Amino acid sequence: MQRIAVIDYGMGNLRSVSKAIESVAPDDEVLVTADPVLIASADRIVCPGQGAAADCMAALNGANLVEPIKEIIGSRPFMGICMGLQVLLTHSEENDGIDCMNVLAGKVKRFNRPLTDTAGQRLKVPHMGWSKVNHSQAHSSHPSHPMWSGISDGARFYFAHSYYCAPDNKDSVVGSCVYGIEFAVAMAATNLFACQFHPEKSASDGLQLLRNFVAWDGAA
């Protein structure tokens, strides 16, 4: 039995995330906690998040979780979801600009207004609903990331966001989506996988991604 910690900093649909993990890891212990000691002792860590970037960073700082998270990342499997991805970047444009954790170099930007597709049709913001996620590969010979095991290239996942990640290093991008522009929706490094969409709300493919995370050895 392994222990999976879901970080509770007061900014997320923690119940949905923990229930979804429990459903794919019935023999594991899923712990929703804000305690840095418990988080540091877990085998795997999930950082969900919803709401505005400034509030999320303030909540992480208020709970004294920024340094513990930075120390954990890279040492064992860590998964960021939605705002749990965005706060890993260097800086977000949201709330008139807010510095984030700088684990992954890059910016979080707002979708342009007006946002249009290639045919000139207006696209609504927030980007809300089910979009296709393409499994990006740095090189065509490189296999797709192990977190995509059992998930078709182009499978749809559920999104709900107005800001998107623009990482400096494209090699870290393992999934992308087109909504007016093409943007990164999944980023990875050793022991780190973070996604913009909500696997806990993406039906069977989302559960498969969580199942993959629970079994992932952390290798990219």
Partner 1 sequence: MGLAKRIIPCLDVDAGRVVKGVKFLDIRDAGDPVSVARGYNEAGADEITFLDITASSDNRDTMYNVVEQVASEVFIPLTVGGGIRAVSDVRRLLNAGADKVSINTAAVHNPELVQEATDKVGSQCIVVAIDSKCVSEPDEAPRWEIFTHGGRKPTGIDTVEWAVKMAELGAGELLLTSMDRDGTKIGFDLGVTKAVSDAVEIPVIASGGVGELQHLCDGVTKGGADAVLAASIFHFGEFSIGEAKAFMLNQGIEVRV
Active site residues: 82, 198, 200
Binding mask 100-119 for partner 1 (x = CB under 8 A): -------------xx--x--
Q: Contacting partner 1 (CB under 8 A), which of 6, 50, 77, 107?
A: 50
Q: Contacting partner 1 (CB under 8 A), which of 74, 97, 126, 150?
A: 126
**Nearest Cα to Cα of residue 44 among 7, 13, 95:** 7
Between residues 134 and 172, which has the closer beta carbon with respect to partner 1? Answer: 134
Min dist CB 189 to partner 1, Å, is 26
Binding mask 167-206 for partner 1 (x = CB under 8 A): -----------xx------------------x-xxxx--x
Q: Does 23 bind partner 1 (CB under 8 A)?
A: yes
Q: Which two tokens stand for residue 63?
A: 């709970």
Between residues 41 and 162, which has the closer beta carbon with respect to partner 1? Answer: 162
The residues that touch partner 1, with contacts defined as CB under 8 A, are 13-16, 19-20, 23, 50-52, 55, 113-114, 117, 123-132, 156, 158, 160-162, 178-179, 198, 200-203, 206-207
